[in-house]
Amino acid sequence: MNLLLLNGPNLNLLGTRQPDIYGHETLADIEAATRAHAELRGAMLEAFQTNHEGEMLERIHAARGVADAIIINPAAWSHTSVALLDALNVFDGRVAEVHLSNIHKREAFRHHSYVSARADAVLAGMGAFGYRAAVDWLLA
């Protein structure tokens, strides 16, 4: 199984970005731990992060027919981007949406996610463990 791990804007700053909310692990830590978790279970995982919405859309387009599933933390684009929802809607495999924080416990503008209209599973509030939980769910 080929898994694609996508992280959206500002997640490159994990480790130093509001660690009280997002934790102390860096994105590199999270990507390595998620990849190791997938590989131990016989899956392959490619990771990509961008702060540019168009690059994210193009990465999702390129995953069509290649990746079996996408694990995505869309970050702020969750709450703003119909374009991201539309791109995920033309991807055939499963989609797991991950948020480090519990977006429903935070400001009202974070309670709605466009991506959730496409996601097959949504994991929020588990911190970095949510990415590994998404791998387990996709492989189960």
Q: Given the rule CB under 6 A, which residues bind ligand DQA?
A: 10, 73, 75-76, 78, 99-101, 103, 110
Is residue 67 a contact partner of residue 2, using CB atoms and an 8 Å limit?
A: yes
Closer to ligand DQA by Cβ: residue 34 or 78: 78
Is residue 52 a contact partner of residue 85, using CB atoms and an 8 Å limit?
A: no
Distances in whole angstroms, Cα of residue 78 to Cα of each of 16, 93, 140: 21, 19, 26
Smallest gap from Cβ 51 to ligand DQA, in A, equals 11
Closer to ligand DQA by Cβ: residue 1 or 126: 126
Closer to ligand DQA by Cβ: residue 2 or 125: 125
Respond yes or no: is residue 112 known to be catalytic. Answer: no
Distances in whole angstroms, Cα of residue 29 to Cα of each of 6, 52, 139: 14, 22, 21
Catalytic residue among 52, 61, 99, 111: 99
Smallest gap from Cβ 13 to ligand DQA, in A, equals 9
Backbone angles phi, psi at 91, to 5 degrees: -90, 135
Smallest gap from Cβ 65 to ligand DQA, in A, equals 27
Give me 61's structure tokens: 């387009």
Respond yes or no: is residue 131 known to be catalytic. Answer: no
Active-site positions read: 22, 99
